[in-house]
Amino acid sequence: MQTAQARNAREGITGVVLYDDSRFFQWLEGPEDGVERVMGSIRNDRRHTDLEVLSHHASPARRFDGWDMKLAARGIDPALWQGDVLEPPREIINDLRQRPAAAPNLLAKLIPLSGATGDSPLVKSLAGKSLGSATASILKDVLLTTVIPLLLHRRGWSAADAQHVLENPRAPELAELLVASDQAASLDLIRELRGEYVEARHLFAPLFEPGARSLGDLWGDDFCSEFEVTLGLCRMQTAIRLLGADTPRAVLSGVEPRVLIAPVPGEQHQLVAALDSEWLWSEGWSPQAEFPADDRALADLLSASWVDVLDLSLSAAFHREDRLPRLTRTIAQARRASLNPALVVVVGGRAFVEGGAVGPDVGADIASRTSLDVDRLMAQGMRTAGDARSRPAGSRRR
Ligand SMILES: Cc1cc2nc3c(=O)[nH]c(=O)nc-3n(C[C@H](O)[C@H](O)[C@H](O)COP(=O)(O)O)c2cc1C
């Protein structure tokens, strides 16, 4: 190990090697040519049999930054080593035995959260807490106390431009950086790309939305955990705040529609709700963001005050097709509870971008594929609902 560590240091290689009962799992990362040279040595080493490469890919950032090829093994006396030794948790060893192909993801779990994510207070407060209500309340705080008030933009692209948004080719790279150990690298990329767009919010559709889907793909490929996806989305929301805003928001003439924005109860990912809130705010609307714990809490909100449009969203990262039947029930209950008999329901999330689901599948009026279009769709939905209201009662939608 010590000879290997010295050579790896010369090659600029970091990583971890885990020993379990005559099998080794190793993660090597660094400059491509250095990794190739070390892999060549390992291949030629006749002490190994059945060498298998489980994953080999380019990555914009290190996951084991500062890790000088640590050894992870059970029952090793750390006193015999010079510090670079870890006792791997039993669950990781068990998982590796059952799913050796998932080793890249499982080895990444050896990175302690505190060391891997810097000193961000947001991340610190997430560390060690279960997902769900804790994350929801932290994200709610960030959204309501900092994200929305800071994002004061003037009107930008017209709705027609929304049809022509191209995904930024570096969105997948952003996703990898968001789950990498160095959070600063993802912010650097966002800052770099910020210059390509007229306003910070014009990054939403080409970068953040496809970046969120790429995060879901990293999870699907077993490259990162569900927690890391959530953390990545959370970092994205933090980045939106850090981008700042320098322009006043648009002023809408006439009566402002009342829009209630919420993740579907039970959905822990809130990026779509955050992007839609910020977009509408910058367009001069006054959306109300809520995080109802269950369908009843949502129904209570709708029966307590008038709402023109309800915007419900599923994860921007995960497909969530399995949640559509439940969403249908949520929407039916919301309509029953609403003071507004012509409530317009807009749904969003990855299921409606790629999954082929459309709004009426779940009892919604419209499915939004991007926050860039959400104000136009809502205005259109309200016009249609208004038309329906002026028709004879028998021909109304509800
Ligand atoms: C499980 C295991 C992991 C190893 N990892 C490394 C490594 O990360 N870096 C390295 O230089 N050698 C590593 N080695 C040693 C190499 O297999 C090889 O013996 C050494 O690099 C000398 O190669 P050379 O004769 O081509 O110089 C490892 C050996 C084992 C058994």
Q: Whose CA is nearest to atom 10 of ligand 1?
A: 4
**Ligand 1 pocket, CB under 6 A:** 4, 7-8, 17, 24, 26, 28, 38, 41-42, 44-45, 47, 69
What local confidence, expressed as pLDDT, does residue 336 receive? 96
Let me know whether 102 and 127 are in one domain: no
Let me know whether 275 and 383 are in one domain: yes
Number of domains in the chain: 3
Q: Which residues contact 106 (CB under 8 A, 6 or more apart)?
A: 25, 92, 95, 96, 99
Backbone angles phi and psi of 309, in degrees to 5: -130, 130
Residue 373 lies in a domain: yes
Please check whether residue 378 is in contact with residue 345, taking contact to mean a CB–CB distance below 8 angstroms.
no
Q: Whose CA is nearest to atom 26 of ligand 1?
A: 41
Residue 248 lies in a domain: no
Q: How far apart are CA 158 and CA 197, in angstroms?
A: 15
Q: How far is the CA of 83 from the centre of ligand 1 (A)?
A: 19
Which residue from 298, 312, 303, 310 is spatially nearest to 269, judged by alpha carbons? Answer: 312
Let me know whether 269 and 356 are in one domain: yes
Let me know whether 58 and 84 are in one domain: yes
Residue 252 lies in a domain: no
- The bridge status of strand 70-73 relative to strand 259-263 is unpaired
Domain boundary among 111, 141, 171: 111
Residue 176 lies in a domain: yes
Q: Whose CA is nearest to atom 24 of ligand 1?
A: 41
What local confidence, expressed as pLDDT, does residue 140 receive? 53
Let me know whether 377 and 339 are in one domain: yes
Q: Whose CA is nearest to atom 8 of ligand 1?
A: 4
Where the chain has pLDDT below 50, the residues are: 113-131, 144-145, 148-164, 246-247, 393-398
Q: Whose CA is nearest to atom 23 of ligand 1?
A: 41
Count of CB atoms situated within 10 Å of the CB of 251:
8
Structure tokens at 285: 């609307």
- The bridge status of strand 70-73 relative to strand 23-29 is unpaired
Pocket test residue of 27, 35, 45 for ligand 1, highest count of atoms within 8 A of CB: 45
What local confidence, expressed as pLDDT, does residue 11 receive? 93
What local confidence, expressed as pLDDT, does residue 366 receive? 94
What local confidence, expressed as pLDDT, does residue 137 receive? 56
Distance of CA 302 to the CA centre of its chain: 28
Q: How far is the CA of 38 from the centre of ligand 1 (A)?
A: 7
Residue 222 lies in a domain: yes
Residue 250 lies in a domain: no
Pocket test residue of 11, 37, 42, 50 for ligand 1, highest count of atoms within 8 A of CB: 42
Q: Whose CA is nearest to atom 28 of ligand 1?
A: 42
Please check whether residue 338 is in contact with residue 306, taking contact to mean a CB–CB distance below 8 angstroms.
no
Domain boundary among 111, 131, 157: 111
Residue 249 lies in a domain: no
Q: Whose CA is nearest to atom 21 of ligand 1?
A: 41
Let me know whether 317 and 358 are in one domain: yes
Let me know whether 389 and 267 are in one domain: yes
| CATH code, domain carrying 360 | 3.40.50.280
Let me know whether 265 and 231 are in one domain: no
What local confidence, expressed as pLDDT, does residue 153 receive? 35
Q: How far is the CA of 61 from the centre of ligand 1 (A)?
A: 23
Q: Whose CA is nearest to atom 22 of ligand 1?
A: 41
Let me know whether 385 and 265 are in one domain: yes
Which residue from 188, 200, 228 is spatially nearest to 212, judged by alpha carbons? Answer: 228
pTM score, whole prediction: 0.57
Let me know whether 272 and 342 are in one domain: yes
Atom of ligand 1 nearest to the CA of 11: 11
Domain boundary among 111, 132, 157: 111
Q: Which residues span the domain enclosing 37?
A: 2-111
Q: How far apart are CA 337 and CA 340, in angstroms?
A: 9
| CATH code, domain carrying 104 | 3.30.70.100
Q: How far is the CA of 11 from the centre of ligand 1 (A)?
A: 13
Let me know whether 227 and 275 are in one domain: no
Q: How far is the CA of 41 from the centre of ligand 1 (A)?
A: 6
Let me know whether 63 and 152 are in one domain: no
Using only the alpha carbons of the chain, give its radius of gyration: 24
Q: How far is the CA of 5 from the centre of ligand 1 (A)?
A: 9
Residue 354 lies in a domain: yes
